Amino acid sequence: MASVFSKIISKEIPCFKIAENQDFIAFLDINPNSLGHTLCVPKIEVDNFLDLEKKSYDKLMSFSRNVALAIKQVVPCKRIGMSLIGLEVPHVHVHLIPISNMEDMQFIKKIKLNHNKFDSLAKEINSVYTLSNSI
């Protein structure tokens, strides 16, 4: 069965999209640790990042860096934390989490956002990403 992220990639289910290219998509995490918590996902459905081809892994990291730079311009934070977990969704994804303290990296403290806030935040980060990566 296709993963929930493959269903997002095929547009079967919606997401708050931040960035997309031929190989990857980035969208806001639906249950965020902090404002701007984003997932960067390869379109190829692989469970564990260690099973990605080295070239795909390198490209995923490069894509995630560009997305993180855009998030950092929009969301006030000390830095962007990065985490690869995959215990819930067996489809490689890089968590990019704007953090101001260590608790923001723990997947216990969650924030609630309404649809309009998710939507406006995604659009704002997407604009910065598009501008920075248009050449």
Contact 33, 109 (CB under 8 A): yes
d(CA 85, CA 73): 25
Output 103 or 131, the one with its CB closest to ligand AMP. Answer: 103
Asked if 82 touches ligand AMP (CB under 6 A), the answer is: no
Asked if 52 touches ligand AMP (CB under 6 A), the answer is: no
> For ligand AMP, what does the binding mask look like between residues 94 and 133, x meaning CB under 6 A?
----------------------------------------
Q: Which of 1, 50, 87, 102 binds ligand AMP (CB under 6 A)?
A: 87
| The token pair that represents 79 in the structure block | 């830095």
Q: Which of 89, 105, 113, 118 binds ligand AMP (CB under 6 A)?
A: 89
Q: C-alpha dihedral over 6, 12, 59, 36, to 10 degrees?
A: -110
Q: What H or E segment, with its residue span, contains residue 7? A: helix 4-9
Q: What is the largest CA-CA distance in the chain?
A: 39
Q: Which residues bind ligand AMP (CB under 6 A)?
A: 4, 15, 27, 29-31, 39, 85-89
